[in-house]
């Protein structure tokens, strides 16, 4: 058997591997979600100091809490006033585990109060973990 006959299958195999790799290297167009399914942009607010209490209003965007980042100062009481008309379902149950906060928001009880003692970033979420955000304590 000649050299060409012995190398034939090896050359064919190399050619198939190269062609296969080239066909998989095609760039795919990015998948675009419809606007209603796109995540909310990050909305950050600093709590406003009113009569010695840091106050922030918490509502709902398209798919998440709004604002999703709340900045407060350590050692000063915080009051989150939740928009009970815009928050529904599991978004009415708010937990901030790192700050010991757990609250159910109703029309009659839409204020959450706590005093953060130490600086840090503390995640908050609905009870099912679907909506989320961060309290940044400075």
Domain 35-137, CATH: 2.60.40.420
Cis peptide before 67 (omega within 30 of 0): yes
pLDDT tens digits for range 89-138: 999 999 999 999 999 999 999 999 999 999 999 999 998 988 999 999 99
pLDDT tens digits for range 122-133: 999 998 988 999
């Amino acid at each position: 058997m000649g050299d060409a006959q012995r190398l034939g299958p090896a050359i064919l195999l190399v050619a198939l591997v190269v062609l296969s790799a080239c066909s998989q290297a095609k760039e795919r167009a990015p998948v675009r979600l419809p606007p209603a399914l796109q995540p909310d942009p990050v909305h950050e607010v600093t709590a406003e100091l009113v009569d010695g209490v840091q106050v922030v209003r918490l509502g709902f965007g398209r798919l998440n809490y709004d604002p999703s980042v709340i900045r407060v100062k350590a050692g000063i009481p915080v009051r989150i006033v939740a928009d009970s008309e815009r928050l529904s379902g599991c978004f009415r149950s708010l937990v901030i585990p790192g700050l010991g906060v757990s609250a159910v928001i109703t029309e009659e009880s839409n204020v959450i109060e706590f005093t953060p003692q130490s600086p840090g970033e503390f995640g908050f979420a609905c009870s099912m973990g679907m909506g989320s955000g961060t309290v940044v304590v400075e």
